Structure 1
Amino acid sequence: MNTISLKERAKAQELKYSFEEAFRFRAQVRRNRMIGLWAGEVLGQQDPLLYAENLANWAIEHPSDAELLMKLRRDFDDAKLPLDDAELTTRMHGLLKEILEEMKSG
């Protein structure tokens, strides 16, 4: 009978966790770029792609969704544009779910 040691199981769990975290991180970066592109267009940025990249890079240093929401809130407030926080949160979660499913399937 082939038995797996406790150390081997622990190592496998560590690898699985590490892979899942890296996978989720890549998905969040993609989501943040997409949110940034949307926001850049709504905000009337001259280069929405640059805004999206800058936002995605900023979000790496500030990984929580709450911080991203506050950053976008400030940008929209500075532009004197309305932003529905609940709608944005729903958009963020929906995009992340879509991206995760897309990444898993292909």
Structure 2
Amino acid sequence: MSQFDDRQKGQEAKFAFDAEKKFKAEARRNKLLGIWAAELLGLTGDEANAYAAEVVAADFTSAGDGDVLDKVAGDLKAKGVAVDEATVRQKMDALVHIANEQVASEG
């Protein structure tokens, strides 16, 4: 029975580790997306970092990526930046790979 308990604890630890890694990667992707969008919006320095934080926070509005996509695409449209939702989605998809690499390299 001890081997079974050890195995179960190992699987639970791996699940928790994987879930934390996924959460960190999504937050990092959202931050990178926010920085990209901030540049398009003409924001720099502290304003760009504050906007990136808003994008990260937008992910807690509802489940999935739609809330982040809506925020960034809506903000760009409101400022007259000619970037459509498909382009924002493509950027999100590209940044997820970069974010995963960064989180993995941090350990």
TM-score (norm 2): 0.80
Task: Could you tell me which runs of 5 or more consecutive residues in structure 1 were left unpaired when the two chains were aligned.
Answer: none
2:39 maps to 1:41:
yes
Shift in Å at residue 85 of structure 1?
Answer: 2.2
Partner of 2:3: 4
Question: For the Cα contact (< 8 Å) 1:29–1:60, is it kept in 2?
Answer: no
Shift in Å at residue 68 of structure 1?
Answer: 0.9
TM-score (norm 1): 0.80
- Give the SS at the match of 2:96: helix
2:81 maps to 1:93:
no
Partner of 1:54: 54
1:87–1:75 Cα change, 3 Å: same
Query: CA separation in 1, counterparts of 2:3 and 2:73?
Result: 51
Question: For the Cα contact (< 8 Å) 2:58–2:67, is it kept in 1?
Answer: no
Deviations 1:4-52 (A, max 9, x none): 21x3322221211111110111111111111101111111236111111
- Give the SS at the match of 2:59: helix
Instruction: Say how many residue pairs are matched.
Output: 103
The higher radius of gyration belongs to 1
Task: Could you tell me which runs of 5 or more consecutive residues in structure 2 were left unpaired when the two chains were aligned.
Answer: none
- Identical positions, percent: 28
